[in-house]
Amino acid sequence: MTSPLHTSENRLASDGDSVSMARRNFLRTAGLAGAAIAFAGCSGTTTELTAPVRSGSPTGAVVGPNGAITLDFSSDIDVLNYAYALEQLEAAFYVTAASNAAFTSIFAANEQRVLLDIRDHEVAHRDFFGAALGTAKIPNLTPAFGAISFADRTSVLQTARTFEDLGVSAYNGAARFLTDAGYLGLAGKIVSVEARHAAAIRDLLNTRSGDFAPNAFDAGNTPQFVLAAADPFIVESITVINA
Amino acid sequence: MSTTTRADGVLDGFDPEIASRLVTRRDAIAKGAVTSGLVMAGLRIGTVPAALAALSTSAFGQGRLPTVVNGILNFALVLEYLEAEFYNRGIAAPNLIPAADRNIFLTIQGHENTHVDYLKNTLGASARPKPTFDYSYGNGSGTGPFADVFTNYTTFKAVAQAFEDTGVRAYKGQAPSLMPYKDVLQAALTIHSVEARHAAEVRRLRGNFADNEPNQGWITRAITDIPGTEAVYAGEDNLIQGGIDITTITTVASKELTEAFDEPLTMAQVLAIVDPFIV
């Protein structure tokens, strides 16, 4: 089955004369013409699967000279970049936590399994968005984790809870800005995994309680709210427009 | 498969009786794009019920939910009826749920009943009535494979897991169809993620929180340790996301990659799964 996303990616990756009206329309709303920024060496081991966007074509987020990022939510690309930013943050957090010398002493074996799995899932999400966005992706973000005590079980778990709940609310609140059903479907595949993480982390903090799901309805937070909450953990400033 | 016919029968109940008064698709899309202050106020504080209630009266007019929304919310209502009554009966069953686990199921019970209430409120007169359920999975015989579900805690937990994981996949599958109706979409997603929280908790509880596979909060490949629930997990081993073979773009192993993405089910697939529960 060909998903709408697949179709859109083909449109983004296609070239020259075969460009359809649909693609022209998609790109017109998806990006910001002429804002090409080079991010040499920022993609790590990630392989870009989409063809390079041609010069003068929309490229997604605008990055200022000081590294400040502006995401335009009238573009699906930048809604995905928003998700990419949050996944970068989560992945960096769990990678840092799991590589701390105290990790194996402050967490029981079952807790380590939970946290290592979540680390892998977040890295997978990060790498997926990086690959799917290709040259339209925002640069690697710089984490600011100075306030987190990675040798302290409670500090790690409470921060994890914050990130997971925030991630769930971010996807729930950003879905309305997507115009491509395939992208929406992908966001849906990821948000429920974030919710599973949130439940597991909450249970590690308060086992066998009702804390795993504190409300019958999760929040759907605006990107402005989410980015403000994430801001203390990210060096670069991220601003959203048209949301 | 006989369930196809029965599933179609269930679907028949979704046809709105008020078709002649429905707004046109174009009107619905236009109105769906206009977010009233009341709706947004509800969404900001996470009170989706208020948002849903506001939807049915302001965005579309009383009793004027678009056909596609009506059908999807009634589909969701069937699943929420199924879950709510299941937990209501489980909580009421003597000597079924150990005291130590009671808070978990009281929490889920409360949520599912809340979901039922607000879907019914939103659908108003279009809400389909609650079916009669056979939790033995016996199509009304009462002698299906889960016949001891309210006397055997192991069976109860297994059925709970199947319901929750199915619910996650069911809501996920409908999200693209709700795309034109932004407020309904967001409301559905805020239920979807709560079902995922439930699923994770029940899955871990089944492994007594040792977090050994497959009793983890997430779904590994298409693995299930509950006989008869293979269809609930079919396709969860997918490694192609958005046209990308994700094994080629990361160092994360394929097992964890399947866990990192939950997969949708179509309405027909879900109805075929739950059909033997419906008399």
Lowest mean pLDDT among A104-108, B53-57, B211-215, B249-253: B53-57
DSSP run (H or E) holding A72: strand A69-72
For residues B65 and B71, the answer to whether their CB atoms sit within 8 Å is no
Q: Which of residues 83-142 of B touch A (CB under 8 A)?
A: 100-101, 103-104, 106-108, 110-111, 114-115
Q: Residue B62: what pLDDT?
A: 56
Exposure string for A99-138, b = 16+ CB within 10 A, e = fewer: ebeebeebbeebbebbbbbbbbbbbbbbbbbbbbbbbbbb
Q: Residue B13: what pLDDT?
A: 33
Lowest mean pLDDT among A34-43, B51-60, B113-122: A34-43
- Percentage of chain B exceeding pLDDT 70: 77
What is the arithmetic mean of pLDDT over B239-250?
98
pLDDT band of residue A62 (cuts 50, 70, 90) is: confident
Residue B34 contacts A where some CB pair is shorter than 8 Å: no
Please compute, for residue B161, the number of CA atoms within 13 A of its CA located in the half-sphere on the CB side.
29
- By C-alpha distance, the chain B residue nearest A5 is B242
CB pair distance less than 8 Å for A185 and B176: yes
Residue B175 contacts A where some CB pair is shorter than 8 Å: yes
- Written as one string, the DSSP assignment of B7-44 is HHHHHHTTS-TTGGGSPPHHHHHHHHHPPPHHHHHHHH
Q: Which of residues 144-173 of A touch B (CB under 8 A)?
A: 168-169, 171-173
Q: Residue A190: what pLDDT?
A: 98
Domain count, chain A: 1
B7-55 pLDDT, tens per residue?
333 333 333 332 222 222 333 333 333 333 333 333 343 445 555 555 5
- Percentage of chain B exceeding pLDDT 90: 77
B263 contact residues in A (CB cutoff 8 A): 189
pLDDT greater than 70 at residue A191: yes
The residue among B250, B256, B259, B266 with the most chain A CBs within 10 A of its CB, best to mutate, is: B250
CB atoms within 10 A of CB A144: 15
Q: Residue B64: what pLDDT?
A: 77
pLDDT band of residue B63 (cuts 50, 70, 90) is: low
Domain that holds residue A93: 4-241
What is the arithmetic mean of pLDDT over A117-141?
97
A142-171 pLDDT, tens per residue?
999 999 999 999 999 999 999 999 999 999
How far, in Å, CA of B221 to CA of B231, rounded?
Answer: 13
Mean predicted lDDT score pLDDT of chain B: 84
Q: Residue A45: what pLDDT?
A: 34
Residue B157 contacts A where some CB pair is shorter than 8 Å: no
How far does the CA of residue B61 sit from the closest CA of chain A (Å)?
Answer: 21
Tokens 């709940």 sit on residue: A165
Q: Which of residues 205-244 of B touch A (CB under 8 A)?
A: 205, 209-212, 216-218, 241-244
How far, in Å, CA of B63 to CA of B99, rounded?
Answer: 43
Compare A51 and B223 and report the one with higher pLDDT. Answer: B223
Q: Where are the alpha helices (DSSP H) in chain A?
A: 4-13, 21-30, 76-99, 103-106, 109-133, 153-174, 181-205, 223-230
Residue B64 vs residues A3, A89, B26, B28, B189: alpha-carbon distances, Å:
31, 42, 14, 9, 22
Q: Residue B24: what pLDDT?
A: 29
- By C-alpha distance, the chain A residue nearest B206 is A208
Q: Residue A61: what pLDDT?
A: 82
Q: Residue B208: what pLDDT?
A: 97
Q: Residue A53: what pLDDT?
A: 31
What is the arithmetic mean of pLDDT over B181-189?
97
- By C-alpha distance, the chain B residue nearest A45 is B250
pLDDT greater than 90 at residue B114: yes
The residue among B43, B197, B241 with the most chain A CBs within 10 A of its CB, best to mutate, is: B197
- By C-alpha distance, the chain B residue nearest A168 is B193
CB pair distance less than 8 Å for A124 and B246: yes
Token pair in block for residue B82: 């199924």
How far, in Å, CA of A225 to CA of A221, rounded?
Answer: 6
Residue among B176, B185, B242 whose CB faces A6 most closely: B242
SS3 assignment, position A240: strand
Single-letter amino acid code for the residue at A94? Y
Residue A56 contacts B where some CB pair is shorter than 8 Å: no
Q: Residue A25: what pLDDT?
A: 32
Residue among A176, A199, A220 whose CB faces B201 most closely: A199
Q: Residue B223: what pLDDT?
A: 97
Q: Residue A64: what pLDDT?
A: 84
pLDDT band of residue B94 (cuts 50, 70, 90) is: very high
The fold adopted by the segment(s) B2-277 is: Ferritin (1.20.1260)
> Facing residues of A71 across strands?
A240
How far does the CA of residue A70 sit from the closest CA of chain B (Å)?
Answer: 23
- Count residue pairs from A and B with Cβ separation < 8 A: 230
A198-243 pLDDT, tens per residue?
999 999 999 999 999 999 999 999 999 999 999 999 999 999 999 9
| CATH number, domain with residue A76 | 1.20.1260.10
CB pair distance less than 8 Å for A200 and B204: yes
